[in-house]
Amino acid sequence: MSQHTDMTSDTATSSHADTVILTRDLCWQWPGQAARLRFPDITLPPGEHLFIRGASGTGKSTLLSLLSGMNRSMTGTLTVHGQELTQLSGGARDRLRADRIGVIFQQFNLVPYLDTLGNVLLPCHLSAHRRHQAGDSPPAAARRLLAALGLPEECLGRKPARLSTGQQQRVAAARALIGSPDLILADEPTSALDTLNRDRFVRLLLDQAANSGSSVVFVSHDPALAGHFERHLELTPTMGDQP
Ligand SMILES: Nc1ncnc2c1ncn2[C@@H]1O[C@H](COP(=O)(O)OP(=O)(O)OP(=O)(O)O)[C@@H](O)[C@H]1O
Ligand SMILES: [Mg+2]
């Protein structure tokens, strides 16, 4: 099953060097599932933002897992920041993700035993590159990001269980942004928010990404958010796409 209406794709002339993401003929099949997910081609230049929408089950989260290197695509090509992910080992894909990619998961995936600052600083512990990019004082960078995203000061020492959903979302966004990764992948992070807070959050995320020159790929089932993004991709269910 799955997809498309590709408004990002692109041009035979695009080269790996001038794109953050370049995919061709990407497919994925989950174990035990008869249908294969086929994804439309993506070409994303540095600093540009892509909105991916589609109904539940069309493969949005699966596509992000391929873009982040958490799963390796079965067929096709996928280049992130000039590196062909399908050719890299699991360890090399983990390194690329730690250095170059910030991920905001659908369920945030904050570490329950770390407080807000500890969660935001995690990428700086996993990657010397991100730590270096965060400047002389990563904790100060974390505080600045959290303030810019509107998290109250009193939340800095709290663990995720003592934060509201909207506050956890801001922590997850700051963790993705710290150390200015080239690419931020955001999986439906606004689904729990009302319209006003949802639009505000997307604006804050894109403003902060622009400050650090990061490209954002933002997944949502909500077409109302599309106006914030210059590039769009729609995944649609299609029946009977057997391998
Ligand atoms: N771990 C898994 N094992 C087997 N099948 C899976 C797994 N994760 C997802 N799928 C299947 O892959 C398809 C796409 O799922 P995916 O989670 O990517 O959709 P989605 O567009 O992100 O949906 P939602 O909007 O509900 O988050 C669905 O048919 C789903 O059942
Ligand atoms: Mg999903």
- What pLDDT digit, counting tens, does each position of 170-187 carry? 999 999 999 999 999 999
Name the closest ligand to CA 30: 1
Instruction: Name which residue sits closest to atom 30 of ligand 1, judged by CA.
Output: 57
Residue 90 CA, ligand 1 centroid: distance in Å: 21
Which atom of ligand 1 sits closest to the CA of residue 58? 21
Q: Kindly give, in sequence order, each residue whose CB lies less than 8 Å from that of residue 196, ignoring residues fewer than 6 positions away.
A: none
- Counting every residue, how long is the chain? 243
Sorted by where each begins, the domain ranges of the chain are 26-235
Does the reported pTM lie above 0.85? Answer: yes
| Strands annotated E in 37-161 | 37-38, 42-44, 50-54, 75-80, 83-84, 101-104
- What pLDDT digit, counting tens, does each position of 72-119 carry? 877 899 999 889 998 899 999 999 999 999 999 888 899 999 999 999
For tokens 């369920």, name the residue.
107
- Tell me which residue of 116, 214, 213, 216 sits closest to 172, measured CA to CA: 116
- For residues 62 and 29, the answer to whether their CB atoms sit within 8 Å is no
List ligand 1's pocket residues with C-beta within 6 A: 30, 32-33, 54, 56-62, 106, 221
Residue-level pLDDT at 40: 94
Q: Which CATH number does 26-235 carry?
A: 3.40.50.300
